[in-house]
């Protein structure tokens, strides 16, 4: 695979689409086993988790629903530290097994806000499922039950992840070339 150019930046191949599909299937199998015979409400985090959530749900064999919320904490390649909830949750989480599906956890600020908002609504259980974790900056404020890949602290795009809105459509993940 070759490098790709998105706007002013060059990215090199990092995680292949085959590896991603294996990871997604492995996580789904764990969830299927952990919640056997129970109903689950998945909450996908827009925009980044739309592909991961779609692929994950195809492997889930439980009785389930999915709902999406939209929050943003990033502009360009550095965190602004601002969290804005743009699309709220219409589905009640009270008394339900809830799994939040996130594309990537970096500082943890986004997932922390989400976790505490949902926890206040008294779900029966609440877990986080993230495809990617950057552990170097993560503050460990919230337990992450399902993690696909732990990676170093470099900026990545593809498979739902963007650089300035671009690159979400790429089937594999690319890493910023320094
Ligand atoms: P956190 O709040 O610092 O954990 O940031 C999480 C959010 O930042 C994710 O949902 C992404 O939208 C974005 N993000 C963090 N790292 C990257 C990256 O390497 N590429 C693209 N988006 C990222």
- Reported as a single tens digit per residue, the pLDDT across 59-111 is 999 999 999 998 755 555 555 556 555 467 888 999 999 999 999 999 998 89
pLDDT of residue 109: 85
pLDDT of residue 76: 55
Dist. CA 134 → ligand 1 center (Å): 9
Task: Tell me if 43 CB under 6 Å of ligand 1.
Answer: no
Task: Tell me if 108 CB under 6 Å of ligand 1.
Answer: yes
How far is the C-alpha of 21 from the C-alpha of 83, rounded, in Å?
30
Task: Tell me if 107 CB under 6 Å of ligand 1.
Answer: yes
Active site residues: 106
Q: Residue for token digits 């689950």?
A: 40
CB contact at 8 A, 156 and 173: yes
User: Which two tokens mark 120?
Assistant: 């206040």
Nearest ligand 1 atom to alpha carbon 48: 12
User: Checking DSSP bridges between strand 173-176 and strand 97-105, what pairing results, if any?
Assistant: unpaired
pLDDT of residue 79: 56
Q: To test ligand 1's pocket by mutation, which of 104, 135, 139, 173 has the most ligand atoms within 8 angstroms of CB?
A: 104
Dist. CA 74 → ligand 1 center (Å): 6
Q: Which residue has the higher pLDDT, 113 or 155?
A: 155
Atom 20 of ligand 1, nearest CA residue: 156
Chain mean position to CA 57:
13
How far is the C-alpha of 48 from the C-alpha of 60, rounded, in Å?
20
How far is the C-alpha of 131 from the C-alpha of 19, rounded, in Å?
12
Query: Does residue 153 carry a pLDDT above 80?
Result: yes
User: Which two tokens mark 111?
Assistant: 């997932």
Atom 3 of ligand 1, nearest CA residue: 107
């Amino acid at each position: 695979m070759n490098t790709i150019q998105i706007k002013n930046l060059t990215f090199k191949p990092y995680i292949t689409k085959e590896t991603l599909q294996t990871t997604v299937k492995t996580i789904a199998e764990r969830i299927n086993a952990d919640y056997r015979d129970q109903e689950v409400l998945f909450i996908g985090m827009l925009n980044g988790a739309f592909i991961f959530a779609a692929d994950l749900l195809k492997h889930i064999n439980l009785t389930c629903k999915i709902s999406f919320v939209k929050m943003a904490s990033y502009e360009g390649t550095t965190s602004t530290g601002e969290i804005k909830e743009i699309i709220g949750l219409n589905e009640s989480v009270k008394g339900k097994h809830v799994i939040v599906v996130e594309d990537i956890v970096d500082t943890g600020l986004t997932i922390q806000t989400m976790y505490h908002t949902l926890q206040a609504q008294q779900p029966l259980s609440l877990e986080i499922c993230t495809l990617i974790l950057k552990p170097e900056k993560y503050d460990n404020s919230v337990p992450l039950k399902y993690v696909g890949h732990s990676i170093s602290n470099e900026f990545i795009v593809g498979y739902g992840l963007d650089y300035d809105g671009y690159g979400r459509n790429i089937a594999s993940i690319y890493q910023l070339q320094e």
